[in-house]
Structure formats: C-alpha cells, structure tokens
Amino acid sequence: MTLPFTTATTGERTGTARHYLMCRPEFFTVSYSINPWMDPDAGADTARAVQQWESLRQAYESLGHTVSLIDAVDGLPDMVFAANGALVVEGRVYGARFAHAERVSEGPAYLRWFAERGFETLEASFTNEGEGDYLTLDEMILAGTGFRTDVAAHMEAQEFLGRPVVTLRLVDPRFYHLDTALFPLDGRNVAYYPEAFSAGSRKVLERLFPDALIASAADAEVLGLNAVSDGRNVVLNAEATGLALELKRRGYEVVPVDLSELRKAGGGPKCCTLEIRP
C-alpha cells in the first residue's frame, strides 16, 4: 500500500512513497552496441557509473521511497537497467524476454528474484523488455513497440495483468524504448516527445492526454524523458533544463541527477528503476 508523503513544503501536488528495485552497476561497461547511444570504442568508467548510481539511489531514499537491490551478475553489464527486467502490477510480475542475445540472461535473473520473494510470476512467451516498454498509469498501461517489444507481448501482458494496454509505435532508434520518449507525470497524465512516435501513435497520445507536457528535441536528446515521478517529485537528468522549468511551472518539484556515464549505454533514471507495485 502506498501512503501520501508528509513533507515540510506546501503545494497542491502530493507524491506517494514508492518501492523500487535497482541493481548496482558493479560490472557496467560499454563493450557492445545494441542502440545508437553505445560506442564500445569509447567505453565507460565503471567507478564513475557506480558513484552516479549511488547518488540516484540516495535521491530516492531522501524522498521517502524504499529501494531494494538485486545482485549484479558478472558478464551482464546492462543489468543496471533494472526497469527492463520485468513489469510489476498489483504484485504480479510479467517477465522480460530480451531482444538481444547480450541481455537474454537478465530476464530469468529478475524473474527469479521476484519468485523467491513470493510474487506471482509469468515467464513471457514474446519478446518484451519490461518497464522499458510498459509504463503504468491508473487506468491503463502504455506499451511501446517498434524496436524491442513485440505487439503480441502487449496482449500477453494485458491477459496476465488485467489492465488495458495501449500500443504506441516508436520510430526513432535513439528512442528505442518507450521510457526514453515518455514518462507518467502521475496516474493520469504524461510528458512525451512527439517525434519519437508514429503519426497514428501521436494522435492516440493527443486524444488520451490533451494536457500532456510536450518535451523539446533538446531535452529528449539528453534522455530527459527517462525520468521518474512520484506525482510530486520528478527525478530527471540534470541536462534537461527546459523540461525542468516546465515541470516547475506545473507545480512539480524537480530533482536533477547526473547519470552521464550510464547514458553512454542509453540509460537514465528510469532505466535504472523498476517499480514494485504491490
């Protein structure tokens, strides 16, 4: 059960305490390329990635959220991107089935973590990458396709979770997961970058969310939309300055973080964060 925050600040918006699963990037590196952000020749600094990740974890805990940890696995450098590991709704866990061979072993590792703790789990029959392509709102789940997740997985998730699933097609390979191009502001509204979506999907978003926050190309291109909101506080990449100003204008508290090292693999705050919804 989630409970309203008690804070010293005042404002119309309230946040709810969340439970997140994260994975310390002990073995993080950029040794292969499966998206346009990754350059193995440039590599990555593991120690710096760990420091930045620890700052993200501390930010969540300072906001009153609970953070659980899954052990990192040597040889799985992208396991830090916990959001891709599963989708959890009302205590039911729909497992990930990764599109690329380099990440295939992550799915069973995450599903095993949940099974060992008594969650009801389903091993996916179709390719999907967890919360990377599934974003949960109060009345629906928005689901991305086009690069990593099969539309058939959308239907499988809907059957297992009993929530309406709305398919959205991604068309720009820089925004290979839904969570790189859109994030829920709360349970009813979203922020997104229209050019990441097909024409039909843009119309769907316009219809569903007429008051959405529309992000600029500049903010999208620093993965500003790979953000995490609890309904009041929004944790996002520090470089997304225009998005931060608009969020403040709408009454949100902005918590900027530096995840520049993890962005070398195409990740940001949301990629590192799998929400456990009881």
Asked whether 88 and 114 are in contact (CB, 8 A), the reply is yes
pTM for this prediction: 0.95
- State how far the alpha carbon of 57 is from the alpha carbons of 15, 158, 188, 193, in Å: 17, 31, 26, 26
Tokens of 63: 């906001």
Select from 57, 70, 61, 58 the least CA-distant residue to 96. 70
Asked whether 130 and 84 are in contact (CB, 8 A), the reply is yes
Give the active site residue among 23, 65, 271, 272: 271
Q: What is the DSSP letter of 32?
A: S
Q: Are strands 92-95 and 86-89 parallel, antiparallel or unpaired?
A: antiparallel
Instruction: Give the integer Cα–Cα distance in Å for 232 and 247.
Output: 10
DSSP string for 94-156: EEPB-SSGGGTTHHHHHHHHHHTTT-EEE--SS-B-GGGTEEE-SS-EEEEESSS--HHHHHH
Identity at 15, one-letter amino acid code? G
- 19 included as an active-site residue: no
pLDDT at 14: 86
- 65 included as an active-site residue: no
pLDDT in tens, the chain (278 residues): 232 332 323 346 889 999 999 999 999 999 999 999 999 999 999 999 999 999 999 999 999 999 999 999 999 999 999 999 999 999 999 999 999 999 999 999 999 999 999 999 999 999 999 999 999 999 999 999 999 999 999 999 999 999 999 999 999 999 999 999 999 999 999 999 999 999 999 999 999 999 999 999 999 999 999 999 999 999 999 999 999 999 999 999 999 999 999 999 999 999 999 999 99
- Residues 6+ positions from 275 with CB-CB distance below 8 Å: 18, 19, 20, 21, 88, 131, 136
Chain Cα centroid distance, residue 180: 8
pLDDT at 69: 98
Give the active site residue among 23, 65, 177, 272: 177
Asked whether 270 and 83 are in contact (CB, 8 A), the reply is yes
